[in-house]
Structure 1
Amino acid sequence: MDIVQELLQLFEKQLTENIGADRAIVFWYDAQSEERDLAEIEQALNEKGIKVWKLNDHNAFQTKVLLELEDTESSYLIYAPFAKPKDEDNFLLDILLYSGKYGEFQADEIAIMMKELRIDHLAIRPFIEEHWAFFKNKQRVAKFKKLLPNNPNANDVKQTMMAVLCDAKSIHPQELLKSVVAKKGGMSDNNEALMQMSKYLDVNLFFELIEDYFGVSPKEEHRLSHIIETIVYQHAVSHIDEGVLQVHYPCSVPNICKVFIDDWLKSDEREGLETILLELEQKWNVPQLVETHTYEAFIRCFTFPIIEQKVLDALHELLLNETVLVNEWKSILAERRKGYWYQAHFAQEYELLEKILDFYEWKIIFERDDAPKNEQEWFSLYTEKYYRIDQLYRHIYLLYRKGTNLERYEQLIERVTFWYENKYLMTLAAYTDHLLETRLSKQWNIPSVMQQRNFYQHFIRPLLEATRERIFVIISDALRYEIGMELLEEFQQRLNTEVKMIPMQATLPTYTQLGMAALLPGKITGIKEDGTIYVNDLSTKGLQNRNNILQMYEVDSIALKMEDFIQLTKDEGQEYIRGKRVVYLYHDAIDAIGDSSKTEAYTYEAVENALERLKAAVRKLTGTYEAVRIFLTSDHGFLYQTSQIEQFQKTESLKGEIYDGNRRFAIGKNLTVPAGAIKVSLDYLGIDCEAVIAKGLNRFTAGGGLRFVHGGAMPQESIIPLIEYRQIKGKGRKSEAERVNVRVASIQKVITSYRFIVPFFQEEKVSPERQPRTLRAAFYRNNERISNEVTITFDSTGEVSERQIEVVFHLLEDRYRMGEICVLRLEDVSGRTTELYAEEEFELKLYSIE
């Protein structure tokens, strides 16, 4: 009940007592008037027909005239902003007396405040009286009321005052400490928040609360820094030998300290903690200590950033020396990824070295494998395994080029590049040359492999005959196989899609005009002296000619430039494709950059751009135009070397009647075959022409850029992707992705230690049908968290033995009853919303912390 209600009750009681009276007069002598906002009270009384008259040292006679002569009908509150005078000095005593026992309002403001704040324990009143200055401010009281828990006790009141004074989110000791340290002054006892607190509260109450909660031994001086240092120390030594740090801070509840730091680093206030950790890293000489130990001593410690540097240095050296144990380091990096410093400051370096670690693993596989026995094995080895080496090298090179402060890895990048270009590519070149010399130069087609020139007949024609679906075909110039595989993996993550990869053998020589012609319906019938390829005796040069060829086989066909089309509005786009059964969309991002010596250095950046544009195009087609079936393919691939091309890789230019050609091929008649080149038969195409391609990694000395090339038979040039993308409609649609199932693998669900391990089992492999699942796990008692919180991603593609994960939990020290039940709560955070996944009961059987 507030003051207005108290006053209104007093007016009502006076009128009830004075039967027949038409009005009531109430006096209020207010010695605390300077803290009073009378305007609200006056407004509330006026609304009830009660007038407010303010008494001062000079208007007592005027007041008597008002009440007894001028206005004898209205009810009045006579407000005197001073203490009540003695009777003999009170000029209005007669009016006060005839107003009766309800004629004077005496505000018990502490009682009113306690009622307003729902504080029922009278034992708390002396504390509030002692600290009444705090409650005289409306803003402070409003915050206090918001933070104070229901049915508060004396400690709740104290902690709520602390929370208001340090601007904390709640009255929990953890939040109080975070808020205090976040203020100006940090760990100093002259901290801004502590100074503010000391104006209204004994700060010893704060220190005693925090020291008790975190199990810290009290200290006379520098109490705040001692508390923080104890907590950070306990976090650090939770995973390293205590003797390593050469300092010691005892604590009775180490798990509470560890979990507190973990949670703080996940919160919005982590910036202040980051500064503290950096300060303590220097104060405790952690960089020097790290140097005197191997990385294994710190491998499970996540407290200080210098440890991340130590781990990175160790991996860097092992990679340089090629002595790294791949599986061991994959486990180490998976563990490091959970730490704060990894994500906050070292993600670029870790990502680069993780890619190089993967690259090193594939290097071992490649060097261990035997040479392919035939062309089928050459094809399958690349499409199933070796494409990953090209993909990883592209990622590594881009990460290094785009990253910041990665110069110290220059030597490692040079070694990766040397092996990639001088071992891997040259070995693949030797395999390819051998197959060319023994068979492929005479008969390019590999039996049982999908041929690029059969694309329309094999995929498009049957769909036109069997369905009424509109078919989109995206042809991206120079989209080589490894890029297509990356695109496939991205598409597999999309809901309600079915995607599959069909590797195709491109036509040879592997260049744009021939590859584009091969993807059209009909038969390649010739090549003119100007290089124009003809299909069914029609020119394939330009969109209009390709339109004509497409419409010979399906009249409702159209060829467009992809970028032009996807930038149209829905209505504009519908005008182009209304009634069309087949829509060919041509895209040129990679070849446009790579084919020029001025821009070829940005080939890998062009690949990144192409990937984004193709993903955007598919989104637009399936969304705006409700496409059901899309094919994505390419005219040819490419070879790309980041280093300067050596002289021995340059081959004498061709001579003869050259219709078309570049650094890797020539097509025409009466062609010479210089050393380092080989003539290939075009009989498989049925055209009267000759072709000569550069062997190995060679380049002819004339025409185009040197680093980005295509036209030859290397798998990077001649194996191209065909992605069949199908959007699921109707009853088959799913509202969310199917994810792998996870279960707790503990046989005995009993906790006997404050630090314990819980095994989890991923029931299925990750696959296109089953996506990874990310769970947030923690133990709860009575809906209150009592352990650290761990986020686990279940993304294994391995066999049963590889799909179990062990997670360490730290139980907060507390008084647990023997046999008490707690719950392991698993929340699914894989999607946009958090959902409860499962709960498992565990029995607590451990000694309580006293």
Structure 2
Amino acid sequence: MSIKIQEALAKKFQSHNVIFWYDERDELKESFDELVIEGVEKCHIQRNEFEIKHKITSNTSDSKFLVYSNQPKPKPNENWLLDLELAYHIFYTDQEAIILQELGLEYSFKELAAKHILFFKSKERVDKLKELLGKGDSHNDIRYKMVAVTLNTDYVNLNTFIHAHGTAFSNGNERLQRDLERYELSEFYWTEIGNKFNYKSDAPSIYDFLLEAFSDNFNLKEKSKLSKETRLLLSLWKDTIMYRDGFDQISTQITEDLQIENVLNTLPLEKAVTDELFKLTDKKIIHDLVQRLIANEISNDALQNFIKQREHTFWYEPHFKSFYESVSYASHLQSEIKQLKVDFKSLEDGLQQYTSKLYQIDYLYRKFILNYRKTNQDSILSDLAEKIEKLYTNDWLLHYNDKWQLVIDSLKSWSVKDSFSQRQFFKKHVQPYIDKKQRVFVIISDALRYECGVELTELLIKENRYESEIEGTITSLPSYTQLGMASLLPHENLAIKEGTDQVLVDNLNSIGVTARSKILSENTDARCTAILAEDFMKFKANTTGRDFVKQYDVIYIYHNHIDDTGDDTTSQDKVFEAVETELSFIKDVLKKIYNMNGYNMIVTADHGFLYQHKILEESDFTTVDVKGEVDKMNRRFILGKDLSGSNALKAFTHKELGLTSEGNALIPKSINRLKVKGSGSKFIHGGASLQEIVTPVIKVNIKRQDTTAQVEIDIIKSTDKITTNLLAVSFIQTNVVSDAILERKIKASIVAEDGTLLSDQFTYTFDIKEENQRQREVKNRFQLTAQASGKYKNQRVKLLLEEPMDRANKWRVYKEYYYTLNISFTNDFDEF
């Protein structure tokens, strides 16, 4: 104790020349006697008041005085040193005084220290409180900061206290409530909650309060019991990373206690879509959307608008994104198929129609199945999945490939010399780079069908400084790997090796990267090589990678993830997941090439594929009686000599297929599959369907200047004054989302100039593609807090628009719009 007193007194003497010390209980006389402070003369009051007064008042030196008394402090009219006490400083050594001195607080806070004495028993709590205290803090300020220490929050405000308290309660931790009571802070805490939120209870508890808050904001009652401030309280809770799990758990418990399911059963979809307090609401919305979609009782535009409203709600990302996206893609798919009216005139016409629009149906189906699988094929989507399978298989794949088959049947030979033929790939796309003496990288992804290539192109365009364009090409037939890979190499002639399905390129073996590298070198004047993507990615970009690249003008890079996944009967169900992985991998390869000073890249494929997620029935397979010498037979083609079969097969000779070898091939018509033991049936290729024979050629260049920008967001501002505690704002997306103009996500709120949040927050992703500006208008009503018409009345505030920072879970200022708050006191009343 004496060391603390010495330190405290030494600190006080820095700003005071005379200090009076009353040790009324005569506990610290020994400490006084031992005390030595340089430049300070000690005086002990022992009926010598006049002597001490004379010494102090007549002092002309720099001496300072400590006046000590171990007697009770005299009454003012009996205190001969009162004038000096009033002029100088009094030092206290009771327990409360010691606490206040350590905190740097005046003795006027003694009652506060006494009331909450147990709080100050912990040095850790005292140290934390000292960090929070500021000059001029009131009793209320200090208690708020004590509550912050008790609840262990980073911020000193009531909303954060409730978030922390509610989260602790949801985890079964009632220690915070006990600590508030133990430190005599509970009454203060609940009084503050009562004042701000109009919460009244004889036995207040955090769960009872939150029960009312959730109930009011779900509109279970005609008249709210609490103030509208609870809307912001709950909104902020959902957006707070530290406490959002607690919101989840509290909401789940309240769902049961308020029997939310019964309410949702009678709540129209149009009203349910505005709630984000309960996880069950999303299940209700998804259920209703699915039922309406199955019954054809909702338009695609209306359904997409409902889903757009849910995009930034609390439960969307962690729990229901795949559900909503399944429904979204299903609706798009259904809408596209219903609008179809297509006939095909020729091979080139089919290519043009498929690459301009029809590929979208296969894309939408892939995305539907991908998201459906992410939901673990939840039963809520099972009927919809069944409908989509039937639509996709019968109304699209079967019906339009039957139409396409009429074109195939009319062909006398397969196109290999037209510019759109895969056989012209090297001459058309690679040779020009060689002629201009520019290095080019060719990435060949096995089974990357056209619609997958379109998605990759769109992903690349969104990457700044990437320029990407796509065109379609018709593969060789049969559309299988060996022939497709050979067709992409420089060549004069292709032939199928007798008795096999292996392909010779100008009489050279073409299987494997070593063989293909040899063909590239021998059939061109350029420095060429071939390498597996996995080996290429092992290079260190700035060292071994650049050393490797310098040796060549043309580098073929091969990767086989999609085909490898689909061809295996144990993994064929994961082929759409494999596509997602492959697109990401190709982007990584392209970035690696760029880091090796590569600027010209081409991405293509050997063939596409057909995939149906449902288990095929026996009737989906074709049994044929094939005559002749069979060398190779799979689900979609037969190779051999002197082959003939039924009308279910289209026959071509090797010569008709542009091959120099002898023999012929049989191709099942439309999407028919042959009965073949041991091979997978969901993922197939080799035939002549559009999905199998249309592949992408994607040219990618890296630019030195920016190639993308985000859409701009503005507001329609009719006034610069806020006169009610509801502010309606119209946001305008000023330009249209396109290849080069990307979407922009914003978070908007009303904020005081000191940074205090004065409204709920509005988050939205502006990705509108409509040309009409009126269709790019998004409206929101901000609920302002009571502070807006109280503490901040008549002050300038701003509508703050923020956007997320790249690679960080933080937001930065995008735009600010200023208003003056002029809200009438009558607007503070929720009801009257």
TM bucket (normalised to shorter chain) is 0.7 to 0.9
**What CA distance in whole angstroms lies between the structure 2 residues aligned with 1:300 and 1:287?**
16
1:589-738 to 2 correspondence within 5 Å? 589-597=561-569, 599-623=571-595, 625-642=596-613, 643-647=615-619, 649-658=621-630, 660-680=632-652, 682-683=655-656, 685=658, 687=660, 689=662, 690-702=664-676, 704-728=679-703, 732-734=704-706, 738=709
**Which residue is equivalent to 2:49?**
none
Q: CA deviation at 1:402?
A: 4.2
2:428 equivalent among 458, 483, 488:
458
- 605-614 or 585-594: which moved more? 605-614
Q: Supply the distance in 2 between the matched residues of 1:186 and 1:622 (Cα, whole angstroms).
A: 50
Give the match for residue 232 of structure 2.
259
- In the alignment, does 2:759 pair up with 1:787? yes
CA distances 1:740-788 after superposition (whole Å, capped 9, x unpaired): 2111133444434322321112222222322221112111122322111
1:221 Cα deviation after fit: 3.0
The answer as to 2:178 corresponding to 1:195 is: yes
- Report whether the alignment pairs 1:768 with 2:743: no
* Cα 1:116/1:556, change in 2 over 3 Å: same
1:488 lines up with 2:462 in the alignment: no
Structure 2 equivalent of residue 437 of structure 1: 409
Change (3 A) 1:654 1:765: farther
Asked whether 1:401 is paired with 2:373, we answer: yes
CA distance in 1 between partners of 2:170 and 2:640 (Å): 80
Q: For 1:201 and 1:811, how far apart are their aligned partners in 2?
A: 32
1:841 to 805, 814, 818: 818
Q: 1:784-822 deviations in whole A, cap 9, x for unaligned?
A: 221112222112223233322222211112326776432
**Cα pair 2:466 2:701 within 8 Å, conserved:** yes
* Residue of structure 2 equivalent to 1:545: 515
Aligned-residue offset at 1:680: 3.6
Give deviations 1:246-295, integer Å, cap 9, x for gaps.
575423x31x2101101011211233333332333222222112223333
Q: Secondary structure at the match of 1:670?
A: strand
Deviation per residue, 1:548-569 (Å, 9 max, x gap) = 2211303411112222332345
Give the AA of the match of 1:168: T
CA contact (8 A) 1:777 1:827 kept: yes
| Partner secondary structure for residue 827 of structure 1 | strand
CA distance in 2, matches of 1:273, 1:335: 21
Task: Specify the SS of the correspondent of 2:218.
Answer: helix
Aligned to 2:158: 173
Q: Distance in 2 between the 1:818 and 1:159 partners?
A: 23
- Residue from 436, 442, 446 that aligns with 1:477: 446
State the partner residue of 1:213: 196
Pair 1:515 & 2:484 matched: yes
- Structure 2 counterpart of 1:385, from 357, 363, 381: 357
SS in 1 for 2:742: coil
| Cα distance in 2 between the residues matched to 1:10 and 1:569 | 65
In 1: Cα distance, 2:452 partner to 2:136 partner: 64
Instruction: Give, in whole Å, the separation in 2 of the partners of 1:454 and 1:711.
Output: 19
User: In structure 2, what is the Cα distance between the partners aligned to 1:370 and 1:12?
Assistant: 93
Amino acid aligned to 1:536: D
Task: Indicate if the aligned counterparts of 2:344 and 2:404 stay in contact, CA closer than 8 A.
Answer: no
Following the alignment from structure 1 to structure 2, what is the Cα–Cα distance between the partners of residues 648 and 782? 69
Match of 2:468 in 1: 499
Letter in 1 for 2:213: I
* C-alpha distance after superposition, 1:447-471 (max 9, x if no partner): 6x6221111111211111213x321
Question: In the aligned structure 2, how far is the partner of 1:370 from the partner of 1:118?
Answer: 84
SS in structure 1 of the partner of residue 555 of structure 2: strand
How many Å apart are 1:113 and its aligned residue?
4.8
Contact 2:730/2:777 (<8 A) preserved: yes
Q: For each residue in 1:370-398, what CA deviation from the matched residue of structure 2 results, as whole angstroms up to 9, or x when unmatched? A: 33454444223321222222222223323
Match of 1:236 in 2: 218
2:476 partner amino acid: T
Q: Which amino acid aligns with 1:333?
A: I
CA distance in 1, matches of 2:511, 2:316: 52
Contact 1:654 1:673 in 2 (8 A): yes
**Unmatched segments (≥5 aa) in structure 1:** 18-25, 51-79, 87-101, 238-244
Q: Residues 205 and 378 from structure 1, CA distance in 2 versus in 1: closer, same or farther, beyond 3 angstroms? A: same
Alignment CA distance shift 1:582-1:194 (3 Å): same
Contact persistence 2:143–2:185 (CA under 8 A): no
Structure 1 residues 220, 821: closer, same or farther in 2, change over 3 A?
Answer: same
The residue identity in structure 1 corresponding to 2:467 is: E
Q: Deviations over 1:8-56 (max 9, x none)?
A: 4799999x99xxxxxxxx99998789xxxx9xxx9xx999999xxxxxx
Q: Provide the C-alpha distance between the structure 1 equivalents of 2:164 and 2:610, rounded to a whole number of angstroms.
A: 57
1:107 aligns with 2:84: no
SS in 2 for 1:502: strand
Deviation at 1:116, TM superposition (A): 5.0
Contact kept in structure 1, 2:100 and 2:109, CA below 8 Å: no
Equivalent residue letter for 1:451: S
Q: Does the 8 Å CA contact 2:334/2:391 hold for their aligned counterparts?
A: no
Q: Residue type matched to 1:459 in 2?
A: H
Supply the distance in 1 between the matched residues of 2:819 and 2:15 (Cα, whole angstroms): 61
Distance of aligned partners of 1:577 and 1:330 in 2 relative to their CA distance in 1, 3 Å threshold: same
Match of 1:824 among 791, 799, 803: 799
The one-letter code sitting in structure 2 at the alignment partner of 1:397 is I
Q: Quick one: distance in 1 between partners of 2:22 and 2:729?
A: 71
SS at match of 1:340: coil
Is the Cα–Cα contact under 8 Å of residues 774 and 792 in structure 1 kept in the other structure?
yes
In the alignment, the residues of structure 2 paired with residue 708 and residue 185 of structure 1 have an alpha-carbon distance, to the nearest angstrom, of: 48
CA 1:522 to 1:712, structure 2 compared with 1: closer, same or farther past 3 Å? same
- State how far apart, in whole Å, the 2-side matches of 1:154 and 1:702 are: 85
Cα deviation for residue 582 of structure 1 reads: 0.7
1:803 counterpart = 2:776: yes
Residue aligned with 2:769, SS:
coil
Structure 1 residue 204 and structure 2 residue 187: aligned? yes
Aligned to 1:128: 113
Query: Which residue identity lines up with residue 385 of structure 1 in the other structure?
Result: K
Structure 1 residues 657 and 275, CA gap change in structure 2 (3 angstroms) = closer
Equivalent AA in structure 1 for residue 233 of structure 2: F
Unaligned runs of 5+ residues in structure 2 are: 41-67, 73-87
Corresponding residue SS for 1:260: helix
Secondary structure, in 3 states, of the residue corresponding to 2:586?
Answer: helix
- Is the partner of 1:722 in helix, strand or coil? strand
Mapped contact 1:484–1:721 kept (Cα < 8 A): yes
Task: Give the TM-score taking structure 1 as reference length.
Answer: 0.81
Q: How far is the alpha carbon of 1:652 from its aligned partner?
A: 0.9
Answering whether residue 282 of structure 2 is matched by residue 303 of structure 1, we say no
Secondary structure at the aligned position of 1:503 is classed as: strand
Match of 1:20 in 2: none
Give the Cα separation in 2 of the matches to 1:31 and 1:705: 96
The one-letter amino acid paired with 1:107 is T
CA displacement, residues 47-88 of structure 1 (integer Å, 9 cap, x when unaligned): 9999xxxxxxxxxxxxxxxxxxxxxxxxxxxxx9xx9699xx
Equivalent position of 1:528 in the other structure:
497
Instruction: Choose which of 125, 132, 136 in structure 2 pairs with 1:140.
Output: 125
Matched to 1:826, the amino acid is L
CA–CA separation in structure 2 for the residues paired with 1:549 and 1:648: 41
For residues 620 and 7 of structure 2, the distance between their equivalents in structure 1, rounded to whole angstroms, comes to 99
Q: What RMSD in Å do the two structures reach over aligned CA positions? A: 3.7
Q: Percent identity?
A: 25
- The letter of the residue matching 2:93 is A
- Please give the alpha-carbon distance, in whole angstroms, between the structure 1 residues aligned to 2:492 and 2:820: 74
SS in 2 for 1:656: strand
Segments of 4+ moved more than 6 angstroms:
9-14, 26-33, 45-50, 185-188
Structure-2 residue corresponding to 1:99: none
Contact 2:446 2:563 in 1 (8 A): yes
